[in-house]
Structure 1
Amino acid sequence: MYAIKGGKIITMDEAGIIEGGIILIEGALIKLVSQEAEIPDGYTVIEAGGKYITPGFIDSHTHLGLEEEIYRVEGDDVNETSDPITPQLQAVDGINFMDLGFKDALRGGVTRAMAMPGSANILGGQAVFLKTLAENLSGMIYKNPWGLKAALGENPKRVYTAQKKTPQTRMASASLLREALYTAARNLEKTELGAQEEYRQSAIFKVLRREMPLLMHVHRADDILTALRIKDEFNIDLLIQHGTEAVLVADELVKRNVPVFLGPLLVNRAKVEMKEVAFKNARLLAERGVEFSFITDHPVIPIEHLRVSAALSVRAGLDEDLALQAITSRPAKFLGVDGELGSIRAGKWADLVIFDGHPFDFRSSVEYVMVDGKLWRDQIE
C-alpha cells in the first residue's frame, strides 16, 4: 500500500488539478484521491511535494517487443511478408518481453502500449495491449487480442511489387481487403466451416461483428477515404493509424466519429506519403473537431519520447490540456478502457507517473512510475 503525498495532481478527470493532495493506492487500484486525507497506518509514503503527478501515459500504436532496436533478423518479428492477408497472426506470439524498449517506456512515463504487426500486409494480424511493468512476463499482457491491423498505401505496394506479387497498386490493396471482408461475411452465414478456414478468418469475424476494430495504417488523404468507404460498406469500427493527411478529410472523419492515432511526428519525411508530417497537424485536427491521440510508432520514435511529441505540438499551437489528454484520457477512451485507465480517480488501476517538473518541460525527469500499483524507479548508474 502506498500513499503519494503533496505535489500537483493532474487528474485528467472532473477533479481537475489538485494542489498538494493525497493519493492512496491499495493493491493494484487507486483507493482515494483527495485534497486532504489522513494517511492510515501501514502505508508507504512517497513525498511528492513540488512535483507533478499524472496518469500513466498510453501509447496506442507501437511495435514494442516485436521490432527490437539493437537486433536485425533475430529481433525483427513485425512483418510476415509471405502473404498479404494474414489476419490469423497474433502479435503476442512475437513479443520479447525482455526488449529494452519496455524500460525506455517506463523512463518516459508510458505505462501501457498497444503493440501490433507492421504495415507490410493488407491484413497483418492481431494487436496486443501491454503493460510495461508487471510481477512476471506473462503479467505484462493486459488485453489480447485487441484489434486487427490493416494497411493501405505505399508499404504493401513496395513489399509485394518487389516479390512480383499482388498488390502492386492501391486498387489491388483495397480489392484484397474487400475480398477478405466479403468472404468472411459470407462465411458467417454458413453453419459449418473447415477448421483452417474458420481459424484464418476468426479475427475478421470479430471485426464484422464489431467485437474488435480495424486498426488501419494510412497516411495519405486518398487512402483515408478508401478506408472510410470500406468502413461504410461493411459497417465496421475503424481507428485511423498515422493519419498524416487526415486534416484534408477532417469533415469525413468527424461525420463518422472516427479518431486518429496521430504520428509519428518527431521524424523526417521518410517517404512520399509522409510529406505533410508536421507538429501543427494536431492543432489543425483539433480546430476541425477531429479527435486524436499521439503515438510514437516505436521504434520509429523511441517510446520514451511520446510526451516530447505532445510537447512539441503544444509549441505548434495545440492547447496544453488537450495535448495531455492525447496521451492519457483520449487513448483510454478510443481503446475502450477509460473506465479503468487514463485519469487519476478512485477505483481505476493505479497507473501513475511522478515528474520532478512539468511533463512537457524538456528538463523534467520521471522519478517514479506505478503500473497496477507496482512501483518502479529508474536507477541511474
Structure 2
Amino acid sequence: MLQGLAAISTTALALAGGPLAAQDRTIAFTGARILTMAGETIDNATLVIRDGRIVAVGSNVTIPADAERRTMEGSVIMPGIVDTHSHIGQVAGADSSSPIQPEIRALDSIDPLSSNIAKARAGGVTTANVMPGSGHLMSGQTYYMKLRDGKTVEDIAFEWKDGSALGGMKMANGTNPMGGNGFPGTRAKSASLVRENFVAAKAYCDGDRKKRDLAKDALCEVLSGDRLVHFHTHRADDIMTVLRLKREFGFDVLIQHGSETWKVADELARAGIPVSNITLDSPGGKLEATGMKMDNAGILERAGVLVSIHSDDPIVDSRMMLREAALAVRGGMSREGALKALTINGAKQMRLDARVGSLEPGKDADFIILDGDPLSAYSHVMETWVEGEKLFDRSRPEDLLMATGGYGAGSPMEASHHHWEIAEAEAGQ
C-alpha cells in the first residue's frame, strides 16, 4: 500500500487551531511497521512529517533530500490515541445550584500545567474530550484538548472557533444526577426537566435573542447540531430515553459509557448512534453498571455501531488505554476494530477526523512510536509526537517517571528536581 508524497492542502491548513508547531524541519521515519488506521498496515514503511503535518506515508515514499532521517526498524508507529472521555487537567463543571447548567464551560476550570496531562501523553493520548462530571442532567460544555506543551487553555485547545474552544455538551441520566435540593428524584422527572429546557431554548432560538441568555445560547448550539451531546448513561432503559430525546429534539449524540448498550445494540445501529465505550469501569461501584460486559465493544462492533474506547481518567489511567483495547479484543472485538476504537473512530465521533485519528498526508503529525505490538502487555510507548513535536520520550528520566509512576510522577517540580539529581550524579562520575 502506498500513499504518495502530497502537498498539504489549503483546506487542511485552514482547519488548524492553536499555536503553530515548532517543528519546521522535515523528518523521515523509515523502516517501521506503520498502522495508518486508514487502510492496511504497512511493513518497512516511511512516515514523512513537516511543519506539524504528515507529508507522506507508505512503502515507496520519496524522501526529500533535506530530511532528517530516523531509522525505526523493530518499531511500530500508529496515530495518537483519541480519548473520547477524560477528566484530565483538574477539570470541573456545574455546581449544586441547579441540575441543568449548559452555560458552564469546562475550559474555565482546566489547569494546562496539570501533571496528568503529561501522564496521558505518556500513554499515547494526543487528543482528548475533557468533560465536567455526571452529577447533573447538564453539567456544561466539554473541551476538546490537543495535548500540546502549553501554559494556557488557549495553547492546548484543539481549535478556537468563533471566540471559543471546540467542545460538546455533557449530559447525564440515571442515578448520578438524581437527589434533593432541586435535583430530580426519579428518572421520569429527569427526562421532563430536560424536555422543558429544550422546549424553552427552542422558543428562544427561533425568536428574539436581543437579551442574551448564555444557557439558552449553548442549547441553541445543541439544537442546531453545532454542539455534540456527550450523554453519560448506563442502563438500557436510560439509553432508550436518550434515543427518545434525540428523536424529539434532533440533537446529535454520542453515548458515553453505555454499560448496557449490548442489550440495545440493534436499536443503536438502526438509529446511527455511536458509543464511547469503557472496557473496564474501575473502581466501578454503581449498581446501574452491574450489567456491564467485557464483550460489550465486540457486540456493538458486530451490530454495526461506531465504537470508541475511552479512559474516563482517573477511572482508568490514561496510560492504560492500550490495555483497554487489548481487553476488548479478549472480549470478542476484532483487533482492527479495537485499534480503530482508540484512534479514527473517536476522531469521527467527535468530528475531528479531518485532522486526527489516522496517518494520512495533510493530517496533523500526531503519532506514537512503540517498541512492539500495541496490544501486547510487553510493549511500551517510546515516544509521543503532537503536531510534529516530540513531547514524550521514554528514554528521558523525567518522562519515564510519567510513564511508570514512582517518585516525582505526580509533580512536575519533583520530576525536575529528580532529573537535576540524576544529572548531578552523572556529572560527578
- Taking structure 2 as the reference length, what is the TM-score of the superposition? 0.82
3-state secondary structure, aligned to 2:342: coil
Counterpart position of 1:183: 200
- Out of 73, 76, 81, the residue aligned to residue 57 of structure 1 is 81
- Displacement of 1:41: 3.6
Counterpart position of 1:281: 296
Q: Check if 1:91 corresponds to 2:116.
A: no
Distance 1:273 1:23, change over 3 A: same
- Displacement of 1:308: 1.0
Counterpart position of 1:21: 45
Counterpart position of 2:182: 165
Q: Which runs of 5+ in 1 are unaligned?
A: 68-76
Separation (CA, whole Å) in 1 of partners of 2:150 and 2:256: 31
- Bigger shift: 276-285 or 127-136? 127-136
Distance 1:22 1:365, change over 3 A: same
- Displacement of 1:286: 1.7
- Out of 284, 309, 313, the residue aligned to residue 324 of structure 2 is 309
- Displacement of 1:119: 0.6
Separation (CA, whole Å) in 2 of partners of 1:79 and 1:308: 32
Alignment of 1:346-361 (within 5 A): 346-361=361-376
Count of equivalent residues: 365
Q: What value does the CA root-mean-square deviation take over the aligned residues?
A: 1.5
Q: Check if 1:108 corresponds to 2:123.
A: yes
Separation (CA, whole Å) in 1 of partners of 2:224 and 2:232: 21
Separation (CA, whole Å) in 1 of partners of 2:106 and 2:279: 20
Alignment of 1:1-381 (within 5 A): 1-14=26-39, 16-67=40-91, 77-134=92-149, 136-137=151-152, 138-143=154-159, 144-157=165-178, 160-161=179-180, 164-195=181-212, 198-263=213-278, 265-376=280-391, 377-378=393-394, 379-380=396-397
Separation (CA, whole Å) in 1 of partners of 2:309 and 2:246: 22
Cα deviation digits, residues 243-288 of structure 1 (max 9, x gap): 0001111122111100010115252441111102232111111222
Runs of 4+ in 1 over 4 A off after TM superposition: none
Separation (CA, whole Å) in 2 of partners of 1:276 and 1:286: 18
Separation (CA, whole Å) in 2 of partners of 1:166 and 1:50: 56
Counterpart position of 1:74: none
- Displacement of 1:45: 2.3
Separation (CA, whole Å) in 1 of partners of 2:285 and 2:90: 21
- Bigger shift: 35-44 or 222-231? 35-44
Distance 1:106 1:49, change over 3 A: same
Separation (CA, whole Å) in 2 of partners of 1:345 and 1:268: 37
Separation (CA, whole Å) in 2 of partners of 1:120 and 1:97: 24
Q: Which runs of 5+ in 2 are unaligned?
A: 1-25, 160-164, 399-429
Separation (CA, whole Å) in 1 of partners of 2:68 and 2:79: 20
User: Quick one: percent identity of the two aligned structures?
Assistant: 34
3-state secondary structure, aligned to 2:322: helix
- Taking structure 1 as the reference length, what is the TM-score of the superposition? 0.92
Separation (CA, whole Å) in 2 of partners of 1:2 and 1:203: 42
- Displacement of 1:103: 1.3
